[in-house]
Amino acid sequence: MCINGYLRDQINDWCERNGNKPFVFSDVFGKENRNWGGTPLQQLYYRYGGVDGQFNIRAYRAAASKAGKLLRTVIDEMGGFDVHEGYRVQYKRRNGGERG
């Protein structure tokens, strides 16, 4: 599965579980979901110098930054979301928002 398709599926799953609750990247892909092993996001970690079995904070931060930018692209393509810019970009599915 491509990264954008994976992001879209995860956003839809999160919205189905949480309704129209606003979210930021880390709500969906961080916290208890920060282990990207076995997901397409792991390839971003590798691209920025990450290695299996060894945590690399620079690779993790660079991969998370790129993933956040990809998330914004996917959200824009999906439509049906309000976007609030700030230190962390916040997204909220509009009432009646469509699955992308």
Domains of the chain: 3-93 (1.10.10)
**Residue range 31-45, pLDDT digits in tens:** 776 778 888 888 888
The string of DSSP letters for 43-90 reads HHHHHTT-BTTB--HHHHHHHHHHHHHHHHHHHHHH--EEEE-SSS-E
Model pTM greater than 0.85? no
Task: Check residue 54 and give its pLDDT.
Answer: 78
Residue 35 CA, chain-centre distance (Å), reads: 13
Q: Percent of the chain at pLDDT above 90? A: 46
pLDDT at 74 over 90: yes
68 in Cβ contact with 7 (< 8 Å): no
**What value does the mean pLDDT take over residues 48-66?**
85
Pick the residue with more confidence: 53 or 3? 3
